[in-house]
Structure 1
């Protein structure tokens, strides 16, 4: 079927761009950065965000102007009996190890497959393995395919990695967020690489709020309340901070399941820190909250990139972060625009936080340098890299060999 379509296909074009998301109306770093990219590309392209599901009436983040949104499984409207039957059957398109597996079903499999097969040219961008694998299997030959990795190769299970190695070679391009992950993918896909394999980091979205004065006695943590974000370690660190600096407060922004939120709150209460650590819940205006803070603390066990680090830097807020894989050490230059904690111990994180609390001159020096670092991740800078990739993939231009070093 693909061979017949290829013979009669029109020349491939990058005018129309389709971006696959799990749930465009949800909250999270991937959604925010994808919307940011979609808004930029909409200047010169016809951009459509294709959301696999819809579970909320209204979007958590504002939709960018000029960008259409399509839902393949709109759960806010009644389904027919046959659709309900399919929705109760497990997905057959992706392995159970894919973190989106529980959000998928036989119904979403069929609707995603139907959508991909319906495309008549343009570019489709996948934002997670489930979509990248489906694109490699189902996208017609006249469609340009670009896969994205928003976490890391090593965070995926063995079965999922095996499918990645088999199918990602069918993609026209694949992008990682970090140099470290680019090296891992280059090694893993050595025998079956996509036409272009490169790193394009996330860009900082426009955030409300001014540059921080660094005068508020507030430290901020941001992220989903999950094990990977290490908020249990941040609570342990704050036990030390609260003893020597009882007038400072820690605010944690982000949501999680009721069970995880309750577990974290219980940990805070048991530590006697109920008046020192506040779970603020999610907010769409994190820039405003960062502008009212003086230090950003990252307690993650691992990061796919570290978008919130850049968001803090864009408000001139210095970062104290565990040197976890993969993002922090690629973004933060130790002692220049933040502090990297080599140890995994909460006591060492506490020491870094205390150091910035006690040394205002250092805090301000790191904050000023952080602003300059953030400028390298402006949407104009990162958007230009995406435009260059789309130009490379246009059939009228030759495709360069896979490169580990361009662009970085």
Structure 2
């Protein structure tokens, strides 16, 4: 079977790139699929994550004004589809343009859309975001299958072709964090949606009450250094910012609590990664991923979305109650087994075979 992934690029450090590296490499190495990835403007060079050498990457050049960009995009995709004649085309693009590909491209291939973000992310962008959300809803039914990551994600879409397949884990170490270090970790890009502004304001109070605890934030820092400057304004002393780490597993294993303050999530890859390392997580119950992953009070804590006071209380609870921290960490590691690649990628293989 020949697969063609269409995405913007694979050289970033985000969750989409991480998951694509796991899935595409597994299909090429373990299942013997012929796998191709199409990116824009050579965004396959120097990938952050490792991709199998059996995967063939292709790039099309798109630039200029919106009309020129669109025409080059359409022509580039069509030319490659004509050349490769794939059996299945998978669109991994949370932007608007990818939704129109089944209507623009002539092919006998089956179409799958992979949705990696909550549609709430678009609604945060004002009128244009709400307008694009409506177009996405209209176009979703054009695909043979529309794959989302959680049951909560499925409820966001009106189409009847929606299938739930979670993300696979990128690692599952034998060891676990000893949960003894006075370190907390948060992982994500420095964007409004990730909620680090809320977290830093919460941390101001935590730092005053528990001055021996540290917060480590890993993720691509925006050019304006928005949150770095906010931490300086708040005069935070125990916050450290780090660029994305290729060995993020090692950082989880050094941590005792994982914090996810996002305003929305398509899934919450960082949650299952931390849980695989035996680290209990505290997350806002944002749309649409965390509630499918965390069993509140069992293997982590879910907090009403953007309720800063409740989030702070949850942090204080895990700081002060060591036995609870240990119990949740142990159950979190067990829960993470459901996301092992061999389990998740069976679902993908089955989907390909029935199309």
The Cα of 1:341 is off from its aligned counterpart by 1.3
Larger mean CA deviation between 275-284 and 377-386 belongs to 275-284
Q: Which residue of 1 aligns with 2:229?
A: 266
Q: Is the 8 A contact 1:221 1:251 kept in 2?
A: yes
Q: Which residue of 1 aligns with 2:349?
A: 387
Q: Is the 8 A contact 2:25 2:52 kept in 1?
A: yes
Please say if 1:148 is aligned against 2:114: yes
Please say if 1:362 is aligned against 2:324: yes
- Aligned 1:328-347 pairs, distance under 5 A: 328-342=290-304, 344-347=306-309
1:44-86 CA-partner distances (Å, limit 9, x unpaired): 211112222335751111113432222223xxxxxxxxxxxx7
- Rounded to whole Å, the distance in 1 between the matches of 2:13 and 2:268 is 16
Q: Is the 8 A contact 1:225 1:254 kept in 2?
A: yes
SS at match of 2:59: strand
1:106-130 CA-partner distances (Å, limit 9, x unpaired): 4334322332344424111001254
Q: Which residue of 2 aligns with 1:24?
A: 10
* Gap runs ≥5 in structure 1: 1-14, 74-85, 93-103, 394-408
- Rounded to whole Å, the distance in 2 between the matches of 1:368 and 1:91 is 54
Give the TM-score taking structure 2 as reference length.
Answer: 0.91
Counterparts in 2 of 1:172 and 1:179: CA distance versus 1, 3 Å = same
The Cα of 1:336 is off from its aligned counterpart by 0.5
1:177-220 CA-partner distances (Å, limit 9, x unpaired): 111221221xx23xxx4xx4211111111267942111111000
Give the alignment partner of residue 40 of structure 2, picking from 52, 69, 76: 52
- Aligned 1:170-319 pairs, distance under 5 A: 170-185=142-157, 188-189=158-159, 193=160, 196-206=161-171, 210-259=175-224, 261=225, 263-273=226-236, 275-319=237-281
SS at match of 1:221: strand
The Cα of 1:152 is off from its aligned counterpart by 2.0
Please say if 1:72 is aligned against 2:72: no
Give the TM-score taking structure 1 as reference length.
Answer: 0.80
Q: Which residue of 1 aligns with 2:23?
A: 37
- Rounded to whole Å, the distance in 2 between the matches of 1:234 and 1:155 is 19
Q: Which residue of 1 aligns with 2:131?
A: 159
SS at match of 2:346: helix
1:2-31 CA-partner distances (Å, limit 9, x unpaired): xxxxxxxxxxxxx00111121111220011
Q: What is the alpha-carbon root mean square deviation over aligned residues?
A: 2.1
SS at match of 1:87: coil
Q: Which residue of 2 aligns with 1:324?
A: 286
- Rounded to whole Å, the distance in 2 between the matches of 1:285 and 1:362 is 27
Please say if 1:88 is aligned against 2:64: yes
Counterparts in 2 of 1:133 and 1:345: CA distance versus 1, 3 Å = closer
Q: Is the 8 A contact 1:341 1:349 kept in 2?
A: yes
- Rounded to whole Å, the distance in 2 between the matches of 1:234 and 1:209 is 30
Q: Is the 8 A contact 2:149 2:266 kept in 1?
A: yes
- Rounded to whole Å, the distance in 2 between the matches of 1:334 and 1:173 is 31
- Rounded to whole Å, the distance in 2 between the matches of 1:112 and 1:391 is 24
Q: Is the 8 A contact 2:91 2:114 kept in 1?
A: yes
The Cα of 1:169 is off from its aligned counterpart by 2.6
The Cα of 1:148 is off from its aligned counterpart by 1.1
1:250-309 CA-partner distances (Å, limit 9, x unpaired): 0000013211x2x21121112221x30011121121111111111001111111111101
Larger mean CA deviation between 151-160 and 41-50 belongs to 151-160
Please say if 1:133 is aligned against 2:102: no
Q: Which residue of 1 aligns with 2:340?
A: 378
* Gap runs ≥5 in structure 2: 123-128
Q: Is the 8 A contact 1:209 1:287 kept in 2?
A: no
Larger mean CA deviation between 51-60 and 197-206 belongs to 51-60
- Rounded to whole Å, the distance in 1 between the matches of 2:207 and 2:130 is 42
- Rounded to whole Å, the distance in 2 between the matches of 1:91 and 1:369 is 52
Q: How many residue pairs were aligned? A: 346
